[in-house]
Amino acid sequence: MGVDLSLLRSGVVQRGHVLKLSRSVSAEQARALALQLKQADGTVTAAEPDLRVAAHYTPTDPSYASQWHYHEGTAGIRAPAAWDTSLGAGVVVAVVDTGYRPHADLAGNLLAGYDFISTPSVGNDGDGRDADPLDPGDWVSANQCGYAHSARASTWHGTHVAGTIAAMTRNTEGVAGVAYGAKVLPVRVLGTCGGYTSDIIAGITWASGGTVSGVPDNTHPAQVINMSLGGSGSCSSLLQTAITQAVARGSTVVVSAGNSATDVANAFPANCSGVVAVAATGRTGARAYYSNFGSGVTLAAPGGDMSTGIANGVLSTLNDGSTSPGNDIYQYYQGTSMAAPHVSGVAALMLAAHRNLTPAEVKNLLTSSARAFPATCSQCGAGLLDAEAAVTAARSARMALATLTDETDDDHSSLATAQTLPAVFPQTVTGQVSRSGASDFYAIEVPAGATLQVTLNLQNEANQQLYLYRKANGALVQKSQRAKGFDEYLSRTNTNATPVTWVLEVRWVSNNPQGAYTLDLDTH
């Protein structure tokens, strides 16, 4: 790793010592170095990084305290500790549901979606498929749907689901979202009396970046697709094909297990292959009375159980209109429909922490990091969703890092000839600039919403500087300037809705005849 060690202090614990590294390294690299030290010296009984810690972040949103499903020790998902590492920045989550309302606590995290409802009477908006996924309301009168049922008010179901995933947070308003740095892509497939599988298949295909005849291409393919919907029966061939192809395109498909208190084997699309099927737990961590179960369940997450009190449901964004849209409100709901978006949000946190995870890896890490149920939850999958452990597992999976060695000064010595680095984070570049005025330039693509962190590690008495430019126009974005012998550091957030390419310059200044350096790049 090219790091020298020196004694900083002793006596921290019995026969314990704190060693200082000659340069900055990432937490993952420090853990790897500690393991090497222990394995190389039999007298070392334990070695670990001396990490800096801080208090877990608590949102300022006034109703956050009522979102027990995020933070309570018994059955919450341990979101606060995960937020210290990842917010979901740069990740798109498609909500295949009833559409959305432009709720003030959600609108800033919404992308332009699509309405895939083909039948006007189901859409309830006077037309068929179009680029307007707004939810006009899904109320029904008694027996309107072709079977005996009572009248029902509009549910605003998609708005509630979307709020759990990515309600705006740190805005001193309303509630928090699990992955409040992510963006929601509304895909409307449900309306009056539900929706048809043909429209759901089209919505899955489009959300994942596939082509649907007569529909413009999706410019924001989703890394995660949430489907809090379903029916009884087997997974149809065409539905399975759409899900399989979505997974192949890189979308993790999260599905609610269903609310019939029966085996999930009889509920689609939760019984389709390749999905993450989510059962629901209540505030004690026990399986909610309504939740489906069975060997097909992947894991469980809070879905609420309001039979023991309204406040034991899941609180999220909603609308107060009983038929057509009214005003923004917040309301408790219960169901596996509420459990699934917790998992979709955590999947977004994981993908922001490790952008190269495949859907299969996301599913495996969700299950391997799930914690033991605090109460009885028979046939609820691998365990209870644990956001902190899942994000930690995702970051740990980045240990196989890309390392680039460069030993020349002249093949990428200008902004125009910058060497393109792979968009893999974290990664380390080693190089050398050893003459006055010499520079190395590296181009790197940074995802939308992500913060690029760069550390230039120098030899003793070295004096090199770090510059960051926009590749598109060559404009200087940021530079570091510290005294010789100190590492240089830059941090910059891509505030655009799309990826941006920046160019890093390592510039020789003085007092470093060898000119060797290492460049550590990471995102969060």
Report, as residue numbers or ranges, the catalytic residues.
97, 157, 337
Determine contact, residues 409/396, Cβ cutoff 8 Å. Answer: no
Can you tell me whether residue 68 is helix, strand or coil?
helix
Determine contact, residues 24/455, Cβ cutoff 8 Å. Answer: yes
How buried is 288 (Cβ within 10 angstroms: 0-12 exposed, 13-18 middle, 19+ buried)?
Answer: buried
- The whole-angstrom separation of Cα 482 and Cα 480 is 7
Q: What's the length of the chain?
A: 524
Q: Is the peptide bond preceding residue 269 cis, with omega within 30 degrees of 0? A: yes
Both tokens assigned to 492? 């910059």
- The whole-angstrom separation of Cα 111 and Cα 92 is 9
Residue 52 per-residue DSSP state:
-
Compute the C-alpha angle 318/134/235, nearest 5°. 85
Number of other CB atoms surrounding residue 235 within 10 Å? 18
Q: Which amino acid appears at position 367 of this protein? A: T
How buried is 57 (Cβ within 10 angstroms: 0-12 exposed, 13-18 middle, 19+ buried)?
Answer: middle
With CA atoms as reference, report the closest residue to 224 among 122, 338, 340, 373.
Answer: 340
Can you tell me whether residue 440 is helix, strand or coil?
strand
Determine contact, residues 274/296, Cβ cutoff 8 Å. Answer: no
| Distance (Å) of CA 292 to CA 54, 120, 270, 279 | 39, 32, 10, 6
